[in-house]
Structure 1
Amino acid sequence: MSAEQDVKLQDFGNIFRLDGKVAVVSGGSRGLGLHAASGLLQAGCSKVFITSRKQKACDEAVNALNALKNKAPGAKAISIPADSSKIPEIERLVAEVSKHTDHVDILFANAGATWGSKFDEVDEKNGWDRVMDLNVKGVFFTIQKFAPLLQKYASIEDPSRVIVTGSVAGIGAGSRGEVGAYSYAASKAAVLHLAHNLAVELGPRHILVNGIAPGFFPSKMANEVIELAGGVKKLGQETPNGRVGKAEDVAATVVWMAGRGGGHANGITVVLDGGKIWGSSKL
């Protein structure tokens, strides 16, 4: 090939656009899910469905998203509360989404919970089963139940996307001691490995499956651990790039994975922690 041919890239100016795409974001009413939903809507999605357990939280998130000024004409966020740890609720969610669209292009399976306590005080129901049911079982069955909608118009040239939320705690050691998050760490390791397996299973169906593994991002779920670790400033100083995560970091990663720019990424995990997984910058 000539240099003239090599420099030609297909519509590269719009490679991160998601114009007309339909997305579902579980755990989308706050934190990383809401950051990602905002990015998806601003990148051109025509519909972004927000789901989490609480009706009020979903409605508030949708109102904030629909107030964004730079959405595409007619684009909207839609609130459908559901408990993603329960299969009948997931099935109801799919049925409700199907009333608004005959397909889904992007599924961000982000719903999750954590539990922190001393090792000897972890209990079965709240400290283990609740976390595993939402973080692992809920993610698997959300993907399974949405698969028909994800397959509807997917193709080799334009595959659908599934993105799961893991954690650096699922790659290295998570929180220990007073706020030991043993079930959380195990669940996030499981869900990232689940993404590897589903990438192989669903790739031939034209559904790409990838994971993100965030480090510390200020959020309602993470704030207690952040404070016990010394606060945002201290954690930022100990991170190689000098800060903790920001909303744009996760939103941009999800938008990249969901669009043409991420069209050959399948079964990967993107770590979003400024390099801290490799070690602290503090000497």
Structure 2
Amino acid sequence: MAEAQLHDFPSLFSLKGKVAVVTGGSRGLGLHAASAFLQAGASTVFISSRKAGACDAACEALNALPNLAPGARAVPVPADSASQQGVLQLVAGVRQHTDKVDILFANAGASWGEAFDKHLDQAFAKVMDLNVKAVFNTIREFTPLLEKAAQASGDGQPSKVIITASVAGLGIGTLGKQGTYGYSASKAAVIHLGRNLAVELGPRRITVNSICPGFFPSKMSNGLLSLSGGADKMAQGNPMRRLGHPEDIAGAVVYLASRAGSHVNGEAIAIDGGALWSRGELQRGGESKL
């Protein structure tokens, strides 16, 4: 039967020959994603963050992976994407190597925790600037390279933008003495920004989707994990009885970046084991983080 036929299923999740840019790629979720892109067949993955040494170390680790395609490589391009000048520096650094980008993973972000009555204006503004405005600037400046990749695609596949949001943008984040008000607001904003850009850029053959991780042990989340009673306690409160693993991020981003996700556009995918739906009652005082 014709319905049983699938076009080239073995390559459905392949990123063979693709070029990717990962902001905030020197550690945490960005590094997990970069590793996944390379191991799924990408030819080049550009790693960007503020610190040049961190970018170099990440690329060294990625290039030592044992199962990369011949010639595949991670390339450091340090830049501070919090500013427009930094975004332009990043684009210029990438353009030194290529004139097209198939995958843009807008992952750079920041958080700030403080009680509501003491929450600093400058802290709120810094988080909003990096988590929302910088994402918009990064996508805008990379759009010509994303369009070029889509035009060059021999199979008509779109280029892909993936934004790192958070389940804090889908529900309620941390309140109380370590309230992350700016972070939660910024992630809700960037999810909706992604939906707008999905409709704007779809006709240019660029999809835009967001991933919304829950708790993954990382430098950014470890402090909040500790304040919430530790990783074990948080894991037991999850329907899956664990926190996120690197492979959970890897699977989601490869799906969205590959041909498998080519008709997914404007979506926000929660990667949290169902924790968002299991919170019957919000716990205050730094004990709840979505």
Instruction: Report the TM-score when normalising by structure 1.
Output: 0.96
List alignment gaps of at least 5 residues for structure 1: none
Q: Deviations over 1:97-139 (max 9, x none)?
A: 00101100000000000001111111122x2121111100100
Give a deviation string over 1:55-86, Cα, whole Å, max 9, x none: 11111111100000101000000001111110
Match of 2:285 in 1: none
Distance in 2 (alpha carbons) for counterparts of 1:158 and 1:111: 26
Aligned position for 2:233: 234
| Paired residue type of 1:135 | N
CA contact (8 A) 1:239 1:280 kept: no
Structure 1 contact 240–280 (Cα < 8 Å) conserved = no
The list of structure 1 runs, each at least 4 consecutive aligned residues, that deviate by more than 4 angstroms after superposition, is: none
Q: Secondary structure at the match of 2:149?
A: coil
Percent identity between the aligned chains? Answer: 57
* Cα displacement (A) at 1:157: 2.4
Check if 1:215 corresponds to 2:211. Answer: no
Q: Does 2:29 match 1:41?
A: no
Aligned to 1:92: 89
What amino acid sits opposite 2:189 in the alignment? A
In the comparison of the two structures, how many residue pairs are matched?
Answer: 278
Q: In structure 1, how many angstroms separate the alpha carbons of the residues matched to 2:198 and 2:114?
A: 34
Shift of 1:238: 0.9
Aligned pair partner of 2:121 in 121, 124, 127: 124
Q: 1:135 aligns with which of 125, 128, 131?
A: 131
> Alpha-carbon deviation of 1:153?
3.0
Paired position in structure 2 for 1:144 = 140
Code of the aligned partner of 1:248: E
Q: What 5-or-longer segments of structure 2 have no aligned partner?
A: 282-290
Whole-angstrom CA distance in 2 between matches of 1:250 and 1:229: 23
What is the identity, as a one-letter code, of the residue corresponding to 1:129? A
Q: Aligned partners of 2:272, 2:149: CA distance in 1, in Å? A: 35
Q: Secondary structure at the match of 1:151?
A: helix
Counterpart mapping for 1:58-137 below 5 A: 58-125=55-122, 127-137=123-133
1:16 aligns to what? 13
2:230 and 2:29 map into 1 onto residues whose CA distance is 19
Q: Do 1:239 and 1:281's aligned partners in 2 also have CA atoms closer than 8 Å? A: no
Structure 2 SS opposite 1:117: coil
Query: Matched residues in 2 for 1:74 and 1:157: separation?
Result: 25
Q: Secondary structure at the match of 2:239?
A: coil
- Of the structure 1 ranges 116-125 and 144-153, higher mean CA displacement relative to structure 2 is found in 116-125
